Amino acid sequence: MRLLSRLGRASLRVQIMLVFGTLVLVLALLLSLGFSELLRQSTQRSVGAALRHVAENANTLLADGLLTRQREAQVLASAQNIWEHGLDTADGRHLLERHKSLDPFNSWIGVAAPDGAVLNATGGMLVGQSVRERPWFQQGLAQSYVGDVHPAKLLDKLLPPTAYGEPNRFLDFAAPIRLRGEVVGVLGVHGSWEWTRHVLQSLVPQSARARGVELFIFNREGQLILAPAARDAMLEAKSQQLPAALASGGSDAPDRDSASPDGETAVVRWDDGVRYLTATTRLAARTTASDLGWTIVARQPIGMAFEEADRLVRLTLACGLAAVLLAWLLAWRAAHRLGHDLETLAGAAARVHAGDSEAHIPEMRSSTEARQLGQALAGMTQRLLAANQALEETVQQRTRQLQQALQALERQASTDPLTGVLNRRGFDARMVALLGLARRSARPLSVVALDVDHFKRINDTHGHGAGDEVLRRLAASLQARARRSDVVARVGGEEFVVLLPDTDVAGARTIAQALLQVVAEQEDPVVGRVTISAGVAGLRGPEEEPATLLDRADAALYRAKREGRNRVCAQA
């Protein structure tokens, strides 16, 4: 009340300036604060979506990699033509060495007898020693096994440190070796933990790392098992655990500041005291054995994630303050002119009251001043709306650029760069869709697995460039012979898969035989005549899974290899 009383004693021009200026100031602040919150939410959604995409890509690559390595161990263990002559033969040693040379992240491959004694291994390491107490051996006696990361024990002193100077850590893969239904040994693979670091680094280019984007892996107990090399020692010293807000998913966790509206990203304070925009995903294991319970986490410091949004907010606030100053100047001028008119009117009235015969009431122009004030307000509002529109266009442009980048990344992630056909990821997505259509419509569907005969000999004799050219020519031949509805993909080094909708096993076998003939008739200018082998499998029923169908096609392919190559074998 005292403030209102003092304001009532002030001049009209001061009252107009204070009231009008205060109103504009409050309006500008409210608009700036509201826009700031909307922009931060939009930025958290868009940047969070990008982080989720990176985490999900890591999830897919890790899950597929674990499955591939598990299957590689199973394939090696199922090489009965090698193991039936003994587990310690030179052919067995050559098989292990050759497979290890194909993958730089295979640190050790060995074969142990049922009593745990190592009979054969790459580099001759651990031969004669017992692995009876190792979990991979115990589990591998009964079934296919995938073991979580652990420090090297028996091999610690036999292998050099990693490229980052860290002690060796392994992922274990094992499978029983059976001959005529009897377990005669266990095949074990120690995969280097650096494989996971390589996968994560491939998903975060240098430009993303410069913006603070990082990927982590936590195990089933929430313990940190992989961090970027620059962060590893610091976070290990702090015993970094999976933040409770991410582990529980609760929005009321003490270290969770805010969450996106879709609940998939959150701003979380980590143990280093810094707040990060964080996205998580659980490892989508392809098999029960490879379900290690990992949590993949992608994060970015909020200072970098919201850098552009904060700049736009500061720009908006500065424009608002500039508009407030201009409005105050206009209000002062309008109040001055209106006060002058009122003073003139008061003077004229006083002269009339005094009896001055020549006194008169002058024409007032306050309505014109009011219109000028309205025009000033309209101009100020127009400037604020223009600034807001410019900011919205900037956000939409950034969003379109991000969407285009994500689409380009998706295309790259599903296409084989060497041959131009689909890779395993792209093929899996198409196979799920076509398999669902075949189930719903009760139509036949077949798969042809193809493999270049003696491809290693081609690489060894003519070089990898010639081998790559053979793969490109084969892919071109497959695409040329394929129908519009067929799906051609490269799923391994020299292995291709053709998915044939609306085609039974007999038809698929005919197509495969034609493909073999076309390839055999071609003459490569460097390699000469190249042949391929093919395995055919058809969908047995609506309950059959994609992996089972592919396994049967692979089994038919391996039978074609065993029976002499350059032929087609089929499973009904």
The alpha carbon of 40 is separated from its chain's Cα centroid by a whole number of angstroms, namely 22
Which positions ≥6 away from 138 have C-beta within 8 Å? 132
Residue for token pair 């807001």:
388
Q: How many Cα neighbours within 13 Å face the side chain of 515?
A: 33
Supply angle C-alpha 483, 489, 492, rounded to 5. 150
User: E strands, 432-486, where?
Assistant: 445-452
The single-letter code of the amino acid at 114 is P
Closest C-alpha to 60, from 220, 295, 288, 284: 284
Total residue count of the chain as it appears in this document = 572
Burial class (CB in 10 A: 0-12, 13-18, 19+), 400: exposed
DSSP for 510-561, written as a single string: HHHHHHHHHHHH-EETTTEE--EEEEEEE---TT--HHHHHHHHHHHHHHHH
Strand partners, 523: 529
Residues identified as active-site = 494
Q: Positive or negative, the Cα torsion across 265, 267, 270, 272?
A: positive
The token pair that represents 183 in the structure block: 């377990």
420: left (phi over 0), alpha (psi -120 to 50) or beta: left
Residue for token pair 């059959």:
544
The token pair that represents 321 in the structure block: 């303050």
Identify the three-state secondary structure at position 448.
strand
Closest C-alpha to 544, from 447, 401, 407: 447
What is d(CA 156, CA 159) in angstroms, rounded to the nearest whole number?
Answer: 6
Long-range contacts of 276-280 (CB under 8 A, 24+ apart): 276/300, 276/301, 276/302, 277/44, 277/47, 277/48, 277/51, 277/301, 277/302, 277/305, 277/306, 278/51, 278/243, 278/246, 279/48, 279/51, 279/52, 279/54, 279/55, 280/55, 280/246
The token pair that represents 526 in the structure block: 């460097």
